[in-house]
C-alpha cells in the first residue's frame, strides 16, 4: 500500500514531466534542474519492483538499455578511459528513458505533447519578433532569428512539432474553430522553417510532410506518392524563391560540396571530411569499433595523415558514423534495434497515437544523418521523454 509520501511524489512527477517537455526548446538549465528533480522524486516514489518489471517488460526500454550497456562494455577495449567516461557521461539523457517510462501516464499523453508544443510555439513567436526586428534575444537578428547555434536543435524540434500539429489538424477530434486555429499554427511553423537556418530540420520537415501525405492516403499509397511527389518540390521551389535565408542555405550546400576538394573548411565540407576520415576508422575496426572513448584519439591519428592542418573532432556529426567508429557493426545493430522496436510497436498498437509512433523513429533516423542527435542536449532529452510517452503500454 502506498504511503502519503509516495502518492505526493507521484503527483509531483506527474507535473514535472510535462514541465520538462515544455523546457525542451526553452532552457537547458531548466531541463537539467527538472531532470534532477524528477529523478529525486522518482526515488521517493518507491515501488521499485513494479518499476523494474515495467522497464524490463518494455521492448523499447530493453533496446535502449542494451545500447547504453554497450557503452559500458566498450570501455574494456578503449585505451582512453577518461575519454570513455566522458562519452559515457553524455549518455545520461538516454539513461533517464527507463525512469521516464515508469512515470508516464498513458492517459496523459496529450498533456506531454501539448506542453512541448507550448514551449516550441513560444520560441517560434520569439523568432518571428526577431525576424520583424521587434525583439532580439541571445544574439538573434532579422537575418538570424534564432539565438546563436540554436538552429541546430530548434529546426529539428520544429519539424517534429509541425508533424504533431498537422497530425492534430488532420485526425484530431476538434471543433471547426479549434481546427482552424491548429491549421494556422501548422502554417506558421511551416513558414518559420524557411526563415530559420537549421538544414537538418528543413530536411526533416520535408520527410515529415511526405510521411503525412502517405499516412493520409494510406488506403491509396500510389495516390499519396503522386501528391507528395508534386507538392513537396513545389514547396521547396517556393521556399527557395521567396525566402532569402532558405535560398542562401540551399546554395551554400551546392557550393560547399563542389569546393570540398579545394576547400573542406566549410560547414558541409567539414562534415564530409569527418565522415571520410571516420570511414578509415570503421574499415580498420569493423566489428567492435575502437571502444567507448577512443574516437577522438583515433580520429586525430587519421586526420594527421589524411588531412593535416584541418581541425580534429570528437564528434563526426553523424550518429551512425559515431556508433560505427565506437562499436562497429555491433553498435550499429544495437542503435537500429531501438528504432526497430519503436516501429514494431507502431504496427502492433492501433490507437490515436499509432501514426505518431511510426513518425517518431523516422524523424530521428533522418536527423541523425547530419548530427549525433542522441548526445545533443535538447534532442537527447526529447528522445528519452517521447520514447517513454509514446511507447509505454496502455495497461500500466
Rounded Cα distance, 81 and 296, in Å: 12
For residue 171, the Cα-to-chain-centroid distance in whole angstroms is 24
pLDDT value for 394? 77
Flag whether pLDDT at 198 surpasses 50: yes
DSSP class of residue 263?
-
Q: Is residue 300 part of a domain?
A: no
pLDDT at 1: 52
Structural domain including 43 reads 4-259+310-391
Residue 322 domain-assigned? Answer: yes
**Cα R_g (the chain), whole angstroms:** 22
285: in domain: no
Count of C-beta atoms within a 10 Å radius of residue 36: 10
The pLDDT score that the predictor gives to residue 396 is 47
Task: Evaluate if residue 243 carries a pLDDT over 50.
Answer: yes
User: What's residue 293's pLDDT?
Assistant: 87
Short-list 94, 69, 83, CA closest to 313 = 83
DSSP, collapsed to helix, strand or coil, labels residue 386 as helix
Residue 136 lies in a domain: yes
Residue 264 is assigned to a structural domain of this protein: no
What is the distance, to the nearest Å, from the Cα of residue 11 to the centroid of all Cα atoms in its chain? 28
Residues 6 or more apart in contact with residue 396 via CB below 8 angstroms:
54, 106
Report yes or no on 278 lying in a domain.
no
pTM of the prediction? 0.96
Segment 43-78, tens digit of pLDDT: 999 889 999 999 999 999 999 999 999 999 999 999
Per residue in 219-229, pLDDT (tens digit) is: 999 999 999 99
Q: Assess contact for 175 and 181: CB atoms under 8 A.
A: no
In a domain, 95, yes or no: yes
Number of domains in the chain: 1
pLDDT tens profile 111-160: 999 999 999 999 999 999 999 988 877 778 888 899 887 999 999 999 99
**108, part of any domain:** yes
pLDDT for 94: 97
Amino acid at each position: 500500500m502506498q504511503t502519503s509520501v509516495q502518492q505526493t511524489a507521484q503527483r509531483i512527477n506527474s507535473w514535472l514531466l510535462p514541465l520538462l517537455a515544455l523546457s525542451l526548446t526553452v532552457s537547458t538549465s531548466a531541463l537539467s534542474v527538472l531532470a534532477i528533480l524528477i529523478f529525486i522524486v522518482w526515488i521517493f516514489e518507491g515501488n521499485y519492483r513494479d518499476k523494474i518489471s515495467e522497464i524490463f517488460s518494455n521492448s523499447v526500454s530493453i533496446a535502449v538499455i542494451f545500447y547504453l550497456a554497450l557503452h559500458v562494455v566498450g570501455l574494456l577495449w578503449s585505451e582512453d578511459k577518461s575519454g570513455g567516461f566522458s562519452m559515457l557521461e553524455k549518455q545520461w539523457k538516454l539513461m533517464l528513458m527507463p525512469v521516464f517510462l515508469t512515470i508516464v501516464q498513458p492517459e496523459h499523453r496529450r498533456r506531454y505533447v501539448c506542453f512541448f508544443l507550448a514551449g516550441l510555439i513560444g520560441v517560434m513567436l520569439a523568432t518571428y519578433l526577431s525576424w520583424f526586428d521587434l525583439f532580439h534575444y541571445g544574439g538573434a537578428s532579422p537575418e538570424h532569428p534564432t539565438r546563436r547555434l540554436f538552429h541546430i536543435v530548434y529546426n529539428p524540434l520544429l519539424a517534429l512539432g509541425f508533424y504533431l500539429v498537422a497530425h492534430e489538424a488532420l485526425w484530431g477530434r476538434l471543433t471547426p474553430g479549434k481546427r482552424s486555429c491548429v491549421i494556422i499554427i501548422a502554417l506558421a511553423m511551416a513558414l518559420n522553417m524557411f526563415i530559420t537556418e537549421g538544414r537538418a530540420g528543413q530536411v526533416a520537415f520535408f520527410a515529415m510532410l511526405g510521411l503525412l501525405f502517405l499516412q493520409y492516403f494510406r488506403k491509396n499509397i500510389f495516390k499519396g506518392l503522386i501528391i507528395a511527389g508534386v507538392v513537396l518540390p513545389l514547396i521547396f521551389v517556393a521556399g527557395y524563391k521567396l525566402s532569402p535565408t532558405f535560398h542562401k542555405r540551399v546554395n551554400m550546400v551546392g557550393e560547399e560540396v563542389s569546393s570540398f576538394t579545394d576547400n573542406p573548411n566549410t560547414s558541409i565540407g567539414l562534415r564530409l571530411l569527418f565522415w571520410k576520415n571516420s570511414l578509415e576508422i570503421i574499415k580498420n575496426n569493423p566489428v567492435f569499433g575502437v571502444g567507448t572513448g577512443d574516437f577522438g584519439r583515433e580520429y586525430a591519428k587519421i586526420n594527421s595523415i589524411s588531412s593535416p592542418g584541418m581541425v580534429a573532432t570528437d564528434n563526426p556529426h553523424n550518429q551512425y558514423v559515431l556508433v560505427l567508429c565506437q562499436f562497429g557493426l555491433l553498435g550499429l545493430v544495437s542503435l537500429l534495434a531501438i528504432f526497430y522496436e519503436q516501429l514494431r510497436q507502431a504496427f502492433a498498437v492501433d490507437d490515436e497515437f499509432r501514426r505518431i509512433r511510426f513518425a517518431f523513429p523516422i524523424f530521428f533516423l533522418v536527423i541523425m544523418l547530419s548530427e549525433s542527435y542522441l548526445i545533443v542536449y535538447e534532442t537527447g532529452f526529447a528522445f528519452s521523454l517521447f520514447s517513454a510517452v509514446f511507447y509505454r503500454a496502455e495497461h500500466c
